[in-house]
Amino acid sequence: MVDLSVYEGIVFDMDGTLVDSMPAHMEAWRHACEHYGYPFDLEYMNSLGGVPTRQTVVILNEKFGVNHDPSAVAQYKREAWEAMKLEPVLIESTMAVFEHYRPSMAIGIGTGAERSHAEHLLSAHGLLARIDSLVTATDVSNGKPHPETFLTVARQMGIEPDKCVVFEDTDIGYQAARDAGMDCIMVKDGKIQA
């Protein structure tokens, strides 16, 4: 078990870190990109993991020189996701950390997902009632890579940012954690990179 005894709080990203939902998100993005005429590049889209959906559309618009309505594209992507009716599974390595430290440490989740999606996913796995803070794209003005998500989690848990450690699966999330003044442990393909 990774030793987190120097910290007072743990912040998990959700998609791809605590819940194995990234393949389903990428499939939903593939549908949205094809519908709106964006070239779909799986590696590039994975690199945007953690960026709120509407902001991802802004990035795609700039990259490909188009001007699609971010709300419309986000809605299409959400409907594609919901139509798949997939229930992602928990990631064993990070859930082991969650279970080990839950009795003694505050735990929060900072995600680029919308609140309704995050609450549904966490409730389905019995986690929503077991965390001290949930901050979603719906709750912040600036999504990752801005540090606002993680700083808000720390504030809600009542813990100084430098006493928190973040578990993340994307470089964008890593940057957000570091800019928040938090240590960050990466999770790649479901494995903790400690």
168: exposed, middle or buried (C-beta count within 10 Å: 0-12, 13-18, 19+)?
buried
Structure tokens that stand for 88 in this block: 């992602």
Please give the Cα distance from 55 to 71 (Å, whole number): 10
pLDDT score at 25: 86
pLDDT score at 158: 98
pLDDT tens per residue across all 194 residues of the chain? 999 999 999 999 999 999 988 788 899 999 999 999 999 999 999 888 878 899 999 999 999 999 999 999 999 998 998 888 777 789 999 999 999 999 999 999 999 988 988 998 899 899 999 999 999 999 999 999 999 999 999 999 999 999 999 999 999 999 999 999 999 999 998 999 97
Phi/psi at 79 (5° precision): -65, -35
By three-state DSSP, how is residue 129 classified?
A: helix
Q: What domains can be seen in the chain, in order of their start residue? A: 9-21+89-192 (3.40.50.1000), 22-84 (1.10.150)
Q: pLDDT tens, 80-119?
A: 988 887 777 899 999 999 999 999 999 999 999 889 889 9
pLDDT score at 52: 86
36 alpha carbon, distance to own chain's centre: 24
pLDDT score at 24: 84
Q: What DSSP state is assigned to residue 162?
A: G
Q: One-letter amino acid identity for 52?
A: P
Alpha helices in the chain (DSSP H): 22-36, 42-47, 53-64, 70-84, 92-101, 115-124, 148-157, 171-179
Please give the Cα distance from 183 to 194 (Å, whole number): 12
Q: Is the dihedral of CA 24, 21, 174, 190 positive or negative?
A: negative
Q: One-letter amino acid identity for 75?
A: Q
Q: Which active-site residues does the annotation give?
A: 13
